[in-house]
Amino acid sequence: MPNLLNPAVPAGAFDEFVVDDAARSRTQRAWTPDDGPMPALYLSHGAPPLFDDARWMRQLSGWAQQLPKPTSILIVSAHWESAPLSLSASAANTPLVYDFGGFHRRYYEMRYATPDASGLARRVAAAMPDSEPVHQHPSRGLDHGAWVPLKVMYPLGDVPVLQLSMPTHDPDRLLDLGRRLRSLRDEGVLVVGSGFMTHGLPFVTRQMLTHNTPPAWSADFDGWVADALARGDVDTLAAYRSKAPGMPYAHPTVEHYTPLFITLGAAARADQPVRTTIDGYMMGLSKRSFQVA
């Protein structure tokens, strides 16, 4: 396994990867209404080490290439918990949020300049109930739960991206929020819940870091989620605090799990069986990611 925390060349794997990735993105077919609704995704987003993980970058890029290029992207990230509902700045080229620490300065110099997303911002605000007004943030850019994976999936930065805050961890409220976003998919908007399927950072061991060995709490939680998703069992997924093995180690705090309910809510049917797109582990943490129709 490559040394993701101390690579010889920080983001060197990305520099090599993006040459072909950008070429593929230039020729990617754009979404049209004949394609029907864009899917909704839940993705495990990684952090700066993603840019040093060639296999994971290939997986994310391949996933994006299987889809038509969206008209725009609305993403809900684990790293913006804010109520009332808030939208990131919609102006073109809004600076990023570097909400991580202890990494090489290269990662703080990375850019992801995307086009104006004000049209999407108006559509999202209009989809919300009058009882839940949406605050338009004048300056907040995309955090790493958004820009890190999207820089790999859509490296040209040619798709407007807007981030919506996560105002709660209650599964029912998040499912309802996802349902309100569902109609955007008919316009070619890619709706994304961005988290990490297991995120027990306080319990990461040297064995996990050096050999990518998943501990029982990570593997058991991941297997439990995979089984419930395959059965479309939303009730079980919502009862994770009492039913999921590996808790609370898999999620000492739950913000990396609960974006899953945004994705399921945005599905045509939340209880449909789900197809996993990416599985496996990064430093022993599950990177399971999936899409719904």
pLDDT exceeds 90 at position 67: yes
Say whether pLDDT at 1 is over 70: no
Q: How far is CA 194 from CA 27, 109, 161, 259, in A?
A: 26, 22, 13, 6
d(CA 21, CA 26): 9
Tokens representing 205 are 């061991």
Res 2: pLDDT = 67
Asked if residue 293 has pLDDT above 70, the reply is yes
**In contact, 195 and 41? CB cutoff 8 Å:** no
Q: Which tens digit of pLDDT belongs to each residue from 273-282?
A: 998 999 999 9
Check whether 272 has a pLDDT greater than 60: yes
The string of pLDDT tens digits covering residues 34-64 is 999 999 999 999 999 999 999 999 999 999 9
pTM: 0.97
Closest CA to 162 of 111, 89, 96: 89
Q: Output b/e per residue, 48-78; b: 16+ Cβ within 10 A.
A: bbbbbbeebbebbbebbbebbbbbbbbbbbb
Count Cα neighbours of 5 within 13 Å in the Cβ-side half-sphere.
10
Q: Print burial letters for 153-189: b (CB count within 10 Å at least 16), e (below 16).
A: bbbbbebbbbbbbbbeeebeebbbbbbbbbebbebbb
Share of the chain above pLDDT 90, in %: 96
Assess whether pLDDT exceeds 90 at residue 6: no
Q: Is 36 left (phi over 0), alpha (psi -120 to 50) or beta?
A: left
The predicted structure's pLDDT at residue 219: 98
- pLDDT at residue 216, as a whole number: 98
CA-to-CA separations, 65 to 21, 32, 247, in angstroms, rounded: 10, 15, 35
For residue 220, the model assigns a pLDDT of 98
Asked whether residue 77 carries a pLDDT value surpassing 70, the answer given is yes
Q: Chain-wide mean pLDDT for the chain? A: 97
Q: Which two tokens stand for residue 190?
A: 């890619």
The mean per-residue pLDDT over the stretch 96-101 comes to 97
